[in-house]
């Protein structure tokens, strides 16, 4: 059986999710060699997840001739540099979302900034594309929504029925990230839109691209319109919100217009109570679909109290573990984390493109930053000819 040896950078929320999901890879041998992160208890993380070694030096992953693929799950502002260095070192790469971003300090706005954001991000993505092409390696873009079983099943059914999709509606969010760095543009390159909205944006782009491949429908992004706001600023009391956004939005709505006149309408918010929401609705000439990744009703429970649940997450981002709940079920699978790593390791073993690769990562970034430019200028942004 072919062995694929993994080095992973980052051991936080995403790193742990990836580490658990690697255990489910089948049909090839997945060897977890080294995890690299800055936590004091990294050795314990390595032991728990089956990594052979732990380090705080990214270069250790680059220098290790046994490592086939480096999985980048560090904060967004580190992605471009780590991905580029890994490719130059001859490694295949998995990159968590986003591939890169515009990480300037946005306090003290300047009218020059909006357009510069989009140009700078596209330039950086282009540079990564060149390094990738020269390397001859694979870049796997960790967009887990593409591998969520309800989404995959819907794509198959859309293709079989040759449905012409005219409207995609995405919704994603919760009551805000607990991570302090999520409150600042300079660390995340934006707010709720780039942290969360990036998932349904990528899913919508992929769906339209698949429709071109499977039933020959026209596909190109024509334009993007967006409105962003910091809605919690209107509240005197933010008691029930985890986020404390400083210079980023906590709500965004993006409308993507495709060249065939069809639309994707996507909402991302850090202002939703009751747990994490990851949903996509798709409407066509002969079908409507509702992908309820989270929440869903696979398991419903009522708890008169939360006794015994101190260390357990019944559902991500709920404020309590009592009352009527929809406990998360097999979230590594249902949210697509297992499927993406299966595809990525198979892609490396077979030297083929992953389902989610560089092209999607780049196009998603273009839509996200065109959206930010639109929100700042109050105009729709024309992307024809750019992608
Ligand atoms: N796909 C998803 O559903 C999803 C969910 C959450 C986060 N993410 C993405 O995953 C990435 C990480 O987010 P997170 O929530 O896990 O963050 P986190 O803060 O929980 O973890 C970040 C990790 O990176 C490590 N790190 C930081 N600087 C480093 C350096 N210089 N060298 C080596 N390691 C370093 C930290 O030690 C930590 O282990 C982000 O890009 C985020 O967008 C994706």
SS3 306: coil
- Nearest residue (by CA) to ligand 1, atom 27, is 74
Which of these, 179, 193, 180, lies nearest to 229 by C-alpha position? 193
Question: Which among 61, 96, 193, 338 is the best mutation to test ligand 1's pocket, defined by most ligand atoms within 8 Å of the CB?
Answer: 96
Q: Name the segment(s) of the chain with CATH classification 3.40.50.720.
A: 3-144
d(CA 6, CA 343): 14
Reported confidence tier of residue 109, pLDDT bands at 50, 70, 90: low
Q: Name the segment(s) of the chain with CATH classification 3.30.360.10.
A: 145-339+367-382
Q: What is the pTM of this model?
A: 0.96
Work out the percent of the chain whose per-residue pLDDT is above 70. 98
Which two tokens mark 196? 């969360």
Reported confidence tier of residue 116, pLDDT bands at 50, 70, 90: confident
- Residue 123: which region, alpha, beta or left (left: phi > 0; alpha: psi -120 to 50)? alpha
User: 299 alpha carbon to ligand 1 midpoint, in Å?
Assistant: 29
The per-residue pLDDT for range 120-135, each reduced to its tens digit, is: 999 999 999 999 999 9
Question: Which among 75, 201, 336 is the best mutation to test ligand 1's pocket, defined by most ligand atoms within 8 Å of the CB?
Answer: 75
pLDDT reported for residue 113? 65
The per-residue pLDDT for range 14-49, each reduced to its tens digit, is: 999 999 999 999 999 999 999 999 999 999 999 999
User: 35 alpha carbon to ligand 1 midpoint, in Å?
Assistant: 13
| CA distances from residue 299 to 71, 302, 314, 325, 328 in whole angstroms, order as listed | 32, 10, 11, 8, 8
Backbone angles phi, psi at 303, to 5 degrees: -120, 120
Q: Where do runs of H (alpha helix) occur along the chain?
A: 13-22, 42-49, 58-63, 79-88, 113-135, 149-161, 185-188, 192, 198-215, 331-334, 337-350, 358-377
The per-residue pLDDT for range 58-92, each reduced to its tens digit, is: 999 999 999 999 999 999 999 999 999 999 999 99
Structural contact between residues 25 and 6, judged by C-beta atoms closer than 8 angstroms: no
The per-residue pLDDT for range 169-204, each reduced to its tens digit, is: 999 999 998 888 899 999 999 999 999 999 999 999
- Nearest residue (by CA) to ligand 1, atom 18, is 12
Sorted by sequence, the CB contacts under 8 Å of residue 118 that are 6+ apart come out as 366, 369, 370, 372, 373, 381
Other Cβ atoms less than 10 A from the Cβ of 336: the count is 28
**DSSP of 248-267:** S-SEEEEEEEETTS-EEEEE
Instruction: Provide the CATH topology of domain 145-339+367-382.
Output: Dihydrodipicolinate Reductase; domain 2 (3.30.360)
- Nearest residue (by CA) to ligand 1, atom 20, is 12
Reported confidence tier of residue 291, pLDDT bands at 50, 70, 90: very high
Query: Which residues are bridge partners to 83 per DSSP?
Result: none
Question: Which among 10, 182, 187, 340 is the best mutation to test ligand 1's pocket, defined by most ligand atoms within 8 Å of the CB?
Answer: 10
Helix orientation angle between 198-215 and 149-161, rounded to the nearest 10 degrees: 30
User: 243 alpha carbon to ligand 1 midpoint, in Å?
Assistant: 17
Class of domain 3-144: alpha beta
Which of these, 249, 239, 244, lies nearest to 319 by C-alpha position? 239
Query: Which residues are bridge partners to 8 per DSSP?
Result: 35, 71
User: 282 alpha carbon to ligand 1 midpoint, in Å?
Assistant: 31
pLDDT reported for residue 201? 98
In the block, tokens 């594309």 appear at 129
- Nearest residue (by CA) to ligand 1, atom 28, is 74
Q: What is the mean pLDDT of the chain?
A: 94
Mean pLDDT, residues 109-122 taken together: 77
Atom of ligand 1 nearest to the CA of 38: 37
Mean pLDDT, residues 289-294 taken together: 95
Ligand 1 neighbours by CB, cut-off 6 Å: 9-15, 36-39, 58, 73-76, 78, 96-97, 142, 144, 179
Question: Which among 7, 11, 13 is the best mutation to test ligand 1's pocket, defined by most ligand atoms within 8 Å of the CB?
Answer: 13
Helix, strand counts (H, E) of the chain:
12, 15
User: 10 alpha carbon to ligand 1 midpoint, in Å?
Assistant: 5
Mean pLDDT, residues 339-351 taken together: 97
Structural element, H or E, at residue 184 = none
Among 113-117, 118-122, 136-140, where is mean pLDDT lowest? 113-117
The per-residue pLDDT for range 217-276, each reduced to its tens digit, is: 888 999 999 999 999 999 999 889 998 999 999 999 999 999 999 999 999 999 999 889
Q: Check residue 144 and report its DSSP letter.
A: G
- Nearest residue (by CA) to ligand 1, atom 32, is 37
């Amino acid at each position: 059986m072919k062995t694929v040896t993994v080095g992973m950078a980052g051991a936080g929320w995403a790193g742990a999710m990836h580490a658990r999901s690697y255990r489910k890879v089948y049909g090839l041998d997945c060897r977890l060699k080294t995890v690299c992160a800055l936590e004091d208890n990294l050795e314990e993380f390595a032991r728990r997840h089956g990594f052979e070694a732990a380090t705080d030096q990214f270069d250790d992953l680059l220098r290790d001739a046994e490592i086939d693929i480096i999985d980048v799950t560090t904060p967004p502002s580190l992605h471009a540099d780590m991905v580029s260095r890994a490719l130059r070192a001859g490694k295949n790469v998995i990159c968590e979302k986003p591939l890169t971003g515009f990480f300037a300090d946005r306090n003290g706005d300047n009218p020059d900034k909006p357009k510069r954001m989009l140009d700078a991000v596209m330039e950086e993505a282009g540079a990564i594309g060149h390094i990738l092409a020269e390397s001859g390696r694979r870049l796997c873009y960790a967009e887990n929504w593409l591998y969520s079983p309800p989404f995959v099943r819907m794509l198959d059914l859309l293709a079989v029925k040759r449905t012409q999709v005219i409207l995609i509606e995405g919704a994603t969010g919760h009551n805000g990230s607990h991570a302090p760095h999520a409150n600042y543009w300079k660390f995340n390159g934006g707010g709720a839109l780039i942290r969360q909205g990036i998932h349904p944006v990528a899913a919508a782009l992929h769906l339209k691209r698949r429709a071109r491949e499977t039933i020959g429908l026209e596909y190109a992004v024509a334009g993007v319109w967006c409105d962003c706001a910091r809605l919690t600023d209107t509240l005197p009391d933010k008691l029930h919100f985890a986020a404390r956004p400083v210079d980023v939005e906590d709500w965004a709505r993006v409308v993507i217009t495709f060249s065939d006149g069809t639309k994707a309408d996507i909402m991302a918010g850090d202002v939703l109570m009751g747990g994490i929401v990851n949903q996509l609705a798709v409407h066509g000439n002969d079908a409507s679909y509702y992908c309820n990744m989270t929440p869903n009703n696979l398991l419903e429970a009522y708890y008169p109290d939360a006794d015994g649940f101190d260390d357990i997450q019944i559902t991500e981002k709920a404020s309590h573990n009592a009352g009527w709940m929809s406990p998360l079920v097999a979230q590594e699978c249902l949210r697509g984390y297992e499927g993406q790593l299966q595809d990525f390791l198979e892609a490396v073993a077979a030297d083929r493109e992953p389902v989610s690769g560089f092209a999607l990562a780049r196009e998603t970034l273009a839509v996200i930053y065109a959206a930010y430019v639109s929100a700042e200028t109050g105009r729709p942004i024309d992307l024809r000819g750019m992608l």
